[in-house]
């Protein structure tokens, strides 16, 4: 019922191949459910734009293997085709003391393949390769016999002669070729300092998907590919746990209104998080800190996801009415949750990529600056204080991915951080001011539904 699109390393074309498959199937009128391995936000935006169905993240490090199975089962079982885009190289993951593995591939694409018992197609960048392609494919197919490699997709093939050499080599190991993308058939999707430019910012997105669908029609061997995507009869996978180990039990009470910032500056949200809030009785009211003149009426909470406030700092700064309204509301005690880009927006000032300084909301007494260094990785976080999101001493796992830094550290930090299952210096991070919980940590609430429940309860108790 599904196929994982993996790569031998980052940058080989997994996203292009995945989007081409999704665009082609969607053009055929198929109901296609996509998933993305890992904590990524931007690739899922492209998936959702291509299929018209929300993409779901599969990340056992942020959730659990049981939640990954549950999410896959819940959203994939009624689809006509299921496509999972991998992360980095097939076996690239992290260490985990609870599930020791010599490869340290916890959370990797291979780990997801084992959890879900789903076959894998490997995308290989063929630039500068001919017969050596067989050694690469053989190694990936045989390193872990629990991971079923059903074929390869050859990317950046230079010519017919080049393809002939590749085919001859792969025939020696009986490796099926599921697709061939020529070097001159690439579609350019622009990027910036944190990856691809989000799909909402691309005015020619429909044309991009049309190009990808056309490439997919002639580049893939659909007679070989389709059976892995849309099998007939019984399911081709057997989840070990057909339901979440931490189900959400919504309590039907009066709805509360939570304003969620959604525009070009703020768009990093896990769809599962939004769904959980809704199931807990929240009415999510989308609004734009860039364009709107006022905050939504009658709200009892504010939610700022991550995104690119540094790219749109001027537009955010020029909306002075919103800045004043937000500062007044947050200091008055409205429950507010802000992740990464949201944290940056709530600072006093933001120094952007051109070293220009812009005034922001001003609730957090610090200046945030863009730096060359990338802060990246999973973190274990222990709550040092009670907040509208978490109780003191509770522990969760989050993910950091940013190039900005705060000049002034918090006087009463929210988190004590360390790398997941690694002996590393313990750091403190995050701000709690009134009912504001702001942090660089991105959190997935699938296995931590006490967090959104606590936040919703605080919102319900807030008097407008």
Catalytic residues: 340
* CA dist., res. 386 & res. 409, Å (int): 18
First to last CA, the chain: 48
CA neighbor of 341 nearest in space, from 261, 236, 251, 276: 261
Report the DSSP pairing between strands 32-37 and 56-58. parallel
- Tokens 């498959």 belong to residue: 21
CA neighbor of 436 nearest in space, from 358, 355, 357, 329: 329
* CA dist., res. 410 & res. 393, Å (int): 18
Q: What is the side-by-side strand order in the sheet with 32-37?
A: 56-58, 32-37, 81-85, 2-7, 120-125, 149-157, 177-182
Crossing angle of helices 14-27 and 42-51, in 10° steps, is 20
Asked if residues 306 and 263 have their Cβ atoms less than 8 Å apart, the reply is no
* CA dist., res. 130 & res. 172, Å (int): 13
Burial of residue 294 (CB within 10 Å: 0-12, 13-18, 19+) is exposed
* Token reading at 84: 């999972």
Asked if residues 344 and 316 have their Cβ atoms less than 8 Å apart, the reply is no
* 3-state DSSP helix/strand/coil % of the chain, to nearest 5: 30, 30, 40
* CA dist., res. 84 & res. 112, Å (int): 10
- Residue 220's DSSP bridge partners are 179
Chain-centroid distance, C-alpha 451: 19
Strands (E), 120-220: 120-125, 149-157, 177-182, 191-192, 195-196
CA neighbor of 91 nearest in space, from 128, 134, 120: 120
Chain-centroid distance, C-alpha 235: 27
* Token reading at 226: 């389709």
- Residue 359's DSSP bridge partners are 349
Output DSSP code: residue 39. Answer: S
Farthest CA pair distance, the chain: 72
């Amino acid at each position: 019922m599904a196929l994982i699109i993996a790569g031998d390393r980052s940058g080989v074309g997994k996203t292009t191949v995945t989007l081409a498959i999704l665009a082609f199937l969607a053009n055929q009128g198929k109901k296609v459910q996509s998933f993305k391995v890992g904590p990524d936000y931007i690739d899922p935006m492209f998936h959702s734009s291509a299929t018209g169905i929300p993409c779901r993240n599969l990340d056992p490090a942020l959730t659990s293997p049981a939640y990954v199975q549950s999410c896959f089962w819940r959203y994939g079982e009624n689809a006509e085709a299921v496509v999972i885009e991998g992360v980095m190289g097939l076996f690239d993951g992290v260490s985990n003391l609870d599930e020791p593995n010599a490869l340290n591939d916890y959370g990797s694409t291979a780990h997801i393949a084992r959890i879900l018992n789903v076959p894998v197609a490997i995308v290989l960048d063929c630039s500068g390769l001919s017969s050596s392609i067989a050694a690469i494919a053989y190694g990936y197919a045989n390193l872990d016999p629990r991971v079923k490699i059903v074929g390869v997709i050859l990317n950046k093939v230079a010519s017919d002669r080049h393809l002939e050499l590749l085919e001859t080599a792969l025939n020696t190991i009986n490796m099926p070729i599921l697709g061939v993308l020529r070097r001159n058939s690439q579609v350019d999707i622009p990027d910036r300092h944190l990856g691809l430019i989000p799909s909402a910012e691309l005015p020619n997105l429909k044309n991009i998907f049309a190009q990808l669908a056309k490439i997919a029609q002639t580049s893939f061997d659909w007679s070989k590919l389709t059976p892995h995507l849309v099998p007939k009869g019984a399911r081709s996978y057997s989840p070990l746990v057909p339901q979440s180990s931490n189900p959400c039990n919504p309590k039907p009470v009066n709805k509360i209104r939570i304003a969620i910032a959604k525009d070009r500056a703020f768009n990093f949200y896990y769809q599962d998080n939004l769904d959980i809030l809704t199931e807990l009785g929240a009415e999510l009211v989308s609004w734009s800190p860039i364009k709107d003149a006022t905050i939504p009426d009658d709200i009892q909470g504010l939610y700022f996801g991550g995104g690119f406030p540094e790219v749109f700092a001027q537009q955010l700064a020029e909306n002075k009415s919103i800045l004043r309204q937000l500062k007044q509301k947050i200091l008055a005690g409205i429950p507010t949750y802000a992740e990464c880009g949201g944290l940056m927006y709530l600072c006093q000032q933001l120094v952007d990529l051109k070293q220009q300084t812009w005034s922001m909301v001003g609730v957090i007494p610090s200046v945030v600056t863009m730096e060359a260094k990338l802060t990246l990785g999973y973190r274990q976080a222990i709550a040092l204080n009670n907040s509208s999101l978490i109780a003191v001493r509770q522990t969760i796992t989050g993910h950091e991915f940013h190039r900005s830094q705060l000049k002034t550290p918090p006087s009463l930090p929210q988190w004590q951080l360390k790398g997941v299952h690694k002996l590393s210096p313990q750091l403190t991070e995050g701000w709690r001011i009134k009912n504001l919980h702001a942090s660089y940590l991105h959190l997935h609430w699938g296995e931590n539904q006490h967090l959104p429940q606590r936040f919703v309860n605080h919102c319900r108790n807030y008097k407008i």
